[in-house]
């Protein structure tokens, strides 16, 4: 049978219309299609619901008139599908099953119908009721060999020859599938990821934003550019990807995991690091340099610093630094809302790094819209103090514009300006670029 | 007026948290005191209980929101470090296994993994 014959096939009324009260009255209908069957042979990228934290493939992804969940494969994969049919009376016990649909590759022409599956021999277990084919049916051709999102619509047909030798065909219904092709196999078990695969919004976003891209750097850049489209906001108290997807945003501890997983969906591995400031007490003067890093930008998808997590009060910005305790210094009192990342092990700012072609790129999903190229090796996550001089590329290209103040307990103008967040006392805030040397630590 | 450290001990011994809960700053201060030492058996009991309660402590007021991990995980991270420093990891083997497996902050999982590995090495030796 030619594809043209299928397109001319009269479709039974009601086929393909949604609605839970729809009855299936056709003699024989495609009933359910199961792609991710939880085994290696499926070859799928496992997709998970962040709402229920269950794998979409625990049930057939497509159930006629009831369910139509997306499916995902690494690009160029050749899927197979477990098919269930629902038969009423008066259908042939044996026939050949096929599915036709438009090509997904531009090379074939978008409107060219092709036989995606079959002809596959079928013998029904029963001529009234459900029959699940003994083996999954393989696709005849691979999926597109590039990253992308696709709409795959299949027209299912049974063909057989009657006793009198005449060829017969029966239309079994349409199935429509949201399909993602990803760049490369994922690394399983990343921070905050489901046990296998990824949460479905992440695969959908990343496959759309990175459509047609090849290089790891281009993929990560596209992901960073796409993040505002998610509507997820910075400064919401959530620290895991699933929690972020549920409540609409998160802290940097969640954002860096989300960005890692977006890249992982396309087979790109990022290194996560948490930047800690090392506090140094001076017991002679009771000063502490430094108590916190301070951000003034509102963060992604925020118009102003989040009311949930910002600190609001009077900050004392120091006009110049360093200064001697006994010399007068001008402090600019500003009542503002800012984010404060406390020094020490207990807090810090979470970032991602990409090593590509001998270069190191920093991705800050919370505060930056472009990658930052750095002249340094990937920082070791060993928690050892690292001293940053004024010429450090990390300081100049990232730290100064992103975390523009350091907060300290300092002596100035005859008094000690203490940091006590419980009492809304923010010490003195000094321009990060004015500080000659900054000690930091990196952990995962 | 009992100190926060004493209130924590009473919470464990008598199953009676202070009626108003703990102030976050005072809770952190008490943990800092334990870190400096010396650590008494009652303090060890407090730290073990903090882990068993998954860092959930009745709090009063608005705790500051850490950026890299939730407050409950921060409490557990502090408890782990203090118990590791005191050589009492054998008491919290199950918590280490749990923290290594649960979807918690990567830093906390990594810490749990390292301490579990250290504990197993010590036991083998």
What backbone phi and psi angles, to 5 degrees, belong to A394?
A: -65, -40
**A189 found inside a domain:** no
Chain A residues whose beta carbon lies within 8 Å of the beta carbon of residue B24 = 422
**Would you say residue A5 has pLDDT above 50?**
no
**A340 found inside a domain:** yes
A110 and A142 belong to one structural domain: yes
Own/partner pairs, A138-142, CB within 8 angstroms, 24+ separation: A138/A78, A138/A79, A138/A80, A139/A78, A139/A79, A139/A80, A139/A81, A140/A114, A140/A115, A140/A116, A141/A78, A141/A114, A141/A116, A142/A76, A142/A77, A142/A78
**A16 found inside a domain:** yes
**Would you say residue A22 has pLDDT above 70?**
no
Query: What is the H or E stretch that residue B21 is in?
Result: none
pLDDT tens digits, residue range A269-303? 999 999 999 999 999 999 999 999 999 999 999 99
**A24 found inside a domain:** yes
**A169 found inside a domain:** yes
Chain A residues contacting B, CB < 8 Å?
191-192, 237, 239-240, 242, 251-253, 257, 272, 274, 308-309, 311, 339, 341-342, 345-350, 381, 421-422, 443-444
What backbone phi and psi angles, to 5 degrees, belong to B45?
A: -60, -40
**Would you say residue A314 has pLDDT above 50?**
yes
Higher pLDDT, B121 or A5: B121
A96 and A170 belong to one structural domain: yes
Confidence of residue A20 (pLDDT cuts 50, 70, 90): very low
Q: What is the mean pLDDT of residues A336-351?
A: 94
pLDDT of residue A108: 66
**A101 found inside a domain:** yes
**A203 found inside a domain:** no
A178 and A104 belong to one structural domain: yes
Shortest Cα–Cα distance, A73 to chain B (Å): 25
Q: Number of helices (H) and strands (E), helices first, in chain B?
A: 6, 2
Provide the domain count of chain A: 3
pLDDT tens digits, residue range A68-113? 999 999 999 999 999 999 998 778 889 999 999 999 877 666 677 8
A57 and A118 belong to one structural domain: yes
Q: What is the mean pLDDT of residues B71-96?
A: 94
A342 and A430 belong to one structural domain: yes
A156 and A221 belong to one structural domain: no
A259 and A280 belong to one structural domain: no
- Give the residue from A203, A234, A265 where a domain finishes: A265
A254 and A300 belong to one structural domain: no
**CB-CB under 8 Å, B66 with A347:** yes
Size of interface A-B (CB pairs under 8 A): 65
Average pLDDT, chain B: 90
A286 and A229 belong to one structural domain: no
A10 and A150 belong to one structural domain: yes
A260 and A291 belong to one structural domain: no
**CB-CB under 8 Å, B67 with A251:** yes
Chain B residues whose beta carbon lies within 8 Å of the beta carbon of residue A348 = 67-68
**What is the torsion angle, in degrees rounded to the nearest 10, for the CA atoms of residue A323, residue A324, residue A330 and residue A335?**
80
Which has the closest alpha carbon to A42: A19, A16, A61?
Answer: A61
Identity of the residue in A252, A342, A443 whose CB atom sits nearest the CB atom of B107: A443
Domain boundaries, position A239? 211-265
Shortest Cα–Cα distance, A226 to chain B (Å): 23
**A194 found inside a domain:** no
Chain B residues whose beta carbon lies within 8 Å of the beta carbon of residue A191 = 103, 106, 109
pLDDT of residue B67: 92
pLDDT of residue A109: 66
Chain B residues whose beta carbon lies within 8 Å of the beta carbon of residue A349 = 67-68
Residue of B nearest to A424 (CA): B64
Identity of the residue in B65, B77, B105 whose CB atom sits nearest the CB atom of A309: B65
A155 and A64 belong to one structural domain: yes
């Amino acid at each position: 049978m030619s594809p043209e014959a299928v397109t001319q096939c009269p479709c039974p009324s009601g086929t393909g219309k949604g609605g839970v009260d729809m009855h299936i009255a056709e003699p024989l209908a495609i009933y359910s299609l199961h792609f991710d069957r939880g085994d290696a042979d499926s070859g799928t990228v496992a997709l998970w619901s962040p709402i229920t934290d269950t794998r979409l493939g625990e049930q057939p992804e497509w159930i006629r008139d009831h369910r139509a969940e997306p499916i995902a494969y690494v690009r160029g994969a050749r899927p197979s599908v477990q098919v269930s049919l629902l038969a009423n009376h008066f259908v042939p016990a044996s026939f050949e099953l096929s599915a036709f649909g438009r090509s997904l590759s531009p090379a074939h022409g978008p409107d060219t119908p092709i036989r995606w599956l079959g002809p596959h021999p079928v013998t029904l277990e029963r001529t009234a009721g459900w029959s699940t084919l003994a083996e999954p049916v393989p696709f005849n051709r691979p999926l597109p060999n590039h990253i992308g999102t696709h709409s795959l619509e299949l027209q299912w047909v049974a063909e057989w020859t009657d006793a009198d030798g005449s060829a017969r065909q029966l239309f079994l219904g349409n199935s429509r599938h949201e399909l993602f092709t990803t760049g490369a196999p994922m690394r399983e078990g990343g921070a905050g990821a489901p046990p296998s695969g990824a949460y479905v919004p992440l695969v959908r976003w990343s496959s759309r934003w990175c459509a047609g891209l090849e290089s790891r750097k281009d993929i990560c850049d596209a992901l960073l550019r796409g993040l505002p489209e998610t509507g997820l906001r910075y400064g919401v108290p959530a620290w895991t990807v699933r929690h972020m997807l549920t409540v609409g945003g998160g802290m940097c501890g969640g954002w860096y995991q989300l960005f890692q997983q977006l890249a992982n969906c396309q087979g790109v591995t990022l290194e996560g690091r948490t930047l800690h400031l090392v506090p140094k007490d001076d017991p002679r003067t009771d000063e502490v340099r430094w108590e916190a890093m301070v951000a003034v930008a509102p963060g992604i998808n925020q118009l102003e610093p989040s009311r949930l997590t910002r600190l609001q009060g009077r900050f004392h910005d120091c006009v110049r630094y360093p200064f001697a305790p006994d010399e007068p210094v001008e402090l600019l009192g500003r009542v503002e809302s800012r984010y404060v990342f406390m020094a020490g092990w207990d807090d810090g700012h979470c970032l991602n790094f990409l090593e590509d072609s001998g270069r190191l790129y920093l991705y800050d999903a919370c505060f930056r819209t472009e990658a930052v190229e750095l002249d340094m090796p990937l920082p070791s996550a060993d928690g050892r103090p690292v001293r940053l001089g004024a010429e450090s590329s990390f300081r100049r290209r990232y730290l100064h514009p992103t975390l523009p103040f350091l907060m300290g307990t300092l002596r100035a103008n005859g008094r000690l300006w203490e940091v006590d967040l419980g009492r809304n006392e923010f010490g003195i805030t000094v321009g990060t670029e004015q500080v000659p040397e900054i000690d930091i630590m990196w952990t995962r | 007026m009992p100190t926060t450290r004493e209130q924590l001990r009473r919470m464990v011994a008598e199953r009676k948290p202070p009626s108003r809960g703990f102030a976050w700053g005072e809770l952190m201060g008490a943990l800092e005191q334990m870190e400096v030492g010396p650590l008494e058996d009652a303090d060890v009991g407090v730290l073990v209980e903090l882990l068993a309660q998954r860092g959930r402590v009745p709090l009063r007021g608005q705790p500051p929101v850490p950026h890299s991990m939730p407050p409950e995980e921060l409490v557990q991270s502090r408890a782990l470090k203090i118990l590791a420093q005191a050589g009492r990891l054998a008491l919290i083997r199950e918590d280490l296994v749990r923290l290594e497996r649960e979807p918690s902050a990567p830093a906390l999982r990594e810490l749990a993994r390292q301490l579990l590995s250290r504990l197993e090495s010590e036991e083998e030796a």
